[in-house]
Structure 1
Amino acid sequence: MDLDAFVSAHYGEWERLRSLAGRRALTGAEADELLDLYQRVATHLSILRSAAPDPTVLQYLSTVLAKARTASLRRRTLSWSRAGDFVIRELPAVLYRTRWWWITTAAVNVAAALVIGVWVARNPSVQTSFISPGAAQQLVGHDFRHYYSEYGGTDFAARVWTNNVWVAAISIAFGVLGFPIAYVLWNNVVNVGVQGGIMVSYGHGAEFFGLILPHGILELTAVFIAAGCGLRLFWSWVEPGGRTRADAMAHEGRSLVVVALGLIGVLLVSGAIEAFVTPSGLPTVVRVGIGVLAEIIFLTYVFVLGRRAVREGYTGDVTAQDLSAVRPVAG
């Protein structure tokens, strides 16, 4: 083989491939051209290795092909701008888009807990069906208050955060089935309602609300969000609309990943409040005020940034450039 003639004939293609591989962004036509040139230059390298193994030319082609391979498989890496998009746009967008699901979930559960609490508080016989009189005295006189100061602040915060993240994860992971979420929520409602009813019936209602509200407002909001979004996933295959069930579930499932990641931070805040504010010596009005302030900040975040993000086209799903081709839908 005449090496000089071969190089002269194909050098333009090699340089074109090197040029495309060095660009930060390619059009669709350029991406297709890069892949086509990559295959041809790889063939050229194979021919030269067999017929005219010149070290300089082989090294040059190997370098060009390596750069082209990296360019064709290039992935976007996590950056501060991407992290900012997640916090400012993607998370609030999906929380705002699913707002009626978790608001309804919250309203139903709070109403149910109040009904159970009033029922238990007004009927001593109902209390004894849940807990013995001796255990009720222990709960009122010691256990409920002692629970928040039993462990050191940092250790307790870690325990609370882990437990709450687990509850939220269960609601999200099993959302497609629907019934596990109802079971988790019902257990939570009964637990809060019964304990609150017993504390109120023994004259410790102010203590109950003074200890549960500082952290409980934000904590329960996070749990209701997880449950509401999980139920939205369940409904996506019951009533997928114009999409196929698979596409509807994929869309909601990808959005749930955003919710799950966001709730880790929300529950971290509520866990810190429960560990360091709830058992503190601050006046009750201050402790409850901190919990209310945290809730106001969170809801403002959701409804102000979320509304804006949805108007800009964010849904909490992956962007179009990350989404593979989808099937046409009805409507």
Structure 2
Amino acid sequence: MDLDVFVSAHRAEWDRLDVLLRRHRRLSGAEADELVRLYQRAATHLSQVRSSAPDPDLTERLTHLVARARSAVTGAHTASWRDAARFFAAGFPAAVYRSRTWWVPTALLSVVLTVLIAWWVGTHPEVRATIGAPEELREMTRPGGRYEAYYSSHPATSFAAQVWTNNAQAAALCLAFGALLGIPVLWVLFQNVLNLGVGIGLMGSAGRLDTFLGLLLPHGLLELTAVFVAAGTGLRLGWTVIDPGHRSRRTALAQEGRSALGMALGLAAVLLVSGAVEAFVTPSGLPTWARILIGVLVELAFLGYVYVLGRRAAGMGETGDIAVSDRSAEAPTAG
């Protein structure tokens, strides 16, 4: 693209659009139609400049012009509680449902790998010897040891906040690293699986596997599901870099990135529930079966939320992306 020729050919349209946007009086019907037409053309011009001749000054000018025109055409939109309710009732569950082909296999493979690591640690004394000295391992696995004390070392409210922060950070890392071809996501996921497998193996070798599972399952089912969803979404984002499909790579990354951002907000709420269960239910005096039952019910509630509400919303075209009126303008792509 010859940028000078392009600017010369369209400058008059941009100037006219700017004039219409600066008018304080109400536009006539013909002027309103002209405003909409010029806005659409300017949005197409912006997309062309970005893809063919990304001049910083021209891109900045057209971005500002298109944003003003979009606001004038669609009206200013202020986020409200209704938007939040719509997001959690449709957008978030639909996004999780749509990404199930990524996070469900991720969950299954992670569980299998966790079981293998736990078996390896639990049945091989030489492996346990590389983890720590016998005294250290006994301290970790004894009644009231490190594993059990972890859940009662802080007041419930502060512990819930700490757990939520740690888990939300892990989920955010999986989502953020997705754009790097998903490779760092695999490392974060492996570290999580390794720690879990080692813990199960050590407690199993000490004959206290039932105690460990009684501490893990109440909150761990939902917590691990949230991590698997984040990891699967990050891997899908990484695959988008490799294969954007019929979309341009820029458009595909923008769409999947916005969806991942929304996923991060939704998973933060899910992990808040998991953290509350871990702080208030896991260390409680309830019988082990009751604590595990609560964890199973919470997990089933989340899966029902995804596979009932999410499936319905996805069938109606919901993707978890932001509203069309709030997206950047995009030029058509030949398929």
Matching residue of 2:300: 296
The residue matched to 1:326 in structure 2 has which SS? coil
Cα distance, 1:72 vs structure 2: 6.3
Matching residue of 1:224: 228
Matching residue of 2:178: 175
| TM-score relative to the length of structure 1 | 0.79
Cα distance, 1:80 vs structure 2: 2.8
Counterpart-to-counterpart distance in 1, 2:37 and 2:194: 64
Query: Cα deviation per residue 1:20-43 (whole Å; 9 max; x = unaligned)?
Result: 59xxxxx962754999xxxxxxxx
Counterpart-to-counterpart distance in 1, 2:253 and 2:122: 43
Cα distance, 1:223 vs structure 2: 0.6
- 1:86-235 equivalences in 2 (<5 Å): 86-141=87-142, 142-177=145-180, 178-235=182-239
The residue matched to 1:156 in structure 2 has which SS? helix
Query: Cα deviation per residue 1:77-134 (whole Å; 9 max; x = unaligned)?
Result: 1223212211111111111110111111111111100000011111111111122211
Cα distance, 1:330 vs structure 2: 4.0
Distance 1:87 1:189, change over 3 A: same
Partner AA of 1:318 in structure 2: I
Matching residue of 2:313: 309
Counterpart-to-counterpart distance in 2, 1:85 and 1:247: 24
Instruction: Please say if residues 17 and 34 of structure 1, whose CA atoms lie closer than 8 Å, have aligned partners that are also in contact.
Output: no
Counterpart-to-counterpart distance in 1, 2:37 and 2:258: 32
Counterpart-to-counterpart distance in 2, 1:29 and 1:296: 52
Query: Cα deviation per residue 1:270-311 (whole Å; 9 max; x = unaligned)?
Result: 000000000000000010111111100001001111111111
Partner AA of 2:206 in structure 1: Y
Instruction: Please say if residues 20 and 34 of structure 1, whose CA atoms lie closer than 8 Å, have aligned partners that are also in contact.
Output: no
Aligned match of 2:332 in 314, 328, 331?
328
Aligned match of 1:278 in 254, 263, 282?
282
Matching residue of 2:57: none
Partner AA of 1:115 in structure 2: L
Partner AA of 2:79 in structure 1: L
Cα distance, 1:322 vs structure 2: 2.0
Counterpart-to-counterpart distance in 2, 1:252 and 1:33: 29
Matching residue of 2:47: none
The residue matched to 2:82 in structure 1 has which SS? helix
Instruction: Please say if residues 20 and 30 of structure 1, whose CA atoms lie closer than 8 Å, have aligned partners that are also in contact.
Output: no
Partner AA of 2:113 in structure 1: A
Q: Does 1:79 align with 2:80?
A: yes
- Give the length in aligned residue pairs: 282
Counterpart-to-counterpart distance in 1, 2:279 and 2:179: 33
Counterpart-to-counterpart distance in 2, 1:88 and 1:271: 22
Cα distance, 1:324 vs structure 2: 3.0
Instruction: Please say if residues 175 and 230 of structure 1, whose CA atoms lie closer than 8 Å, have aligned partners that are also in contact.
Output: yes
Query: Cα deviation per residue 1:126-158 (whole Å; 9 max; x = unaligned)?
Result: 111122211110011111111100100001001
Partner AA of 2:244 in structure 1: P
Counterpart-to-counterpart distance in 1, 2:227 and 2:252: 23
Partner AA of 1:236 in structure 2: T
The residue matched to 1:321 in structure 2 has which SS? helix
Distance 1:97 1:146, change over 3 A: same
Partner AA of 2:146 in structure 1: D
Cα distance, 1:250 vs structure 2: 0.9
Unpaired segments of 5 or more residues in structure 1?
A: 1-15, 22-26, 36-67
Partner AA of 2:171 in structure 1: A
Matching residue of 2:54: none
Instruction: Please say if residues 196 and 205 of structure 1, whose CA atoms lie closer than 8 Å, have aligned partners that are also in contact.
Output: yes
Distance 1:221 1:28, change over 3 A: farther
Q: Identity over aligned residues, as a percent?
A: 50
Distance 1:198 1:250, change over 3 A: same
Matching residue of 2:7: none
Counterpart-to-counterpart distance in 2, 1:17 and 1:30: 16
The residue matched to 2:324 in structure 1 has which SS? coil
| TM-score relative to the length of structure 2 | 0.79
Distance 1:247 1:71, change over 3 A: closer
Distance 1:28 1:247, change over 3 A: farther
Counterpart-to-counterpart distance in 2, 1:28 and 1:291: 57
Distance 1:19 1:275, change over 3 A: same
The residue matched to 1:174 in structure 2 has which SS? helix
Q: Which moved more, 1:205-214 or 1:128-137?
A: 128-137
Instruction: Please say if residues 74 and 325 of structure 2, whose CA atoms lie closer than 8 Å, have aligned partners that are also in contact.
Output: no
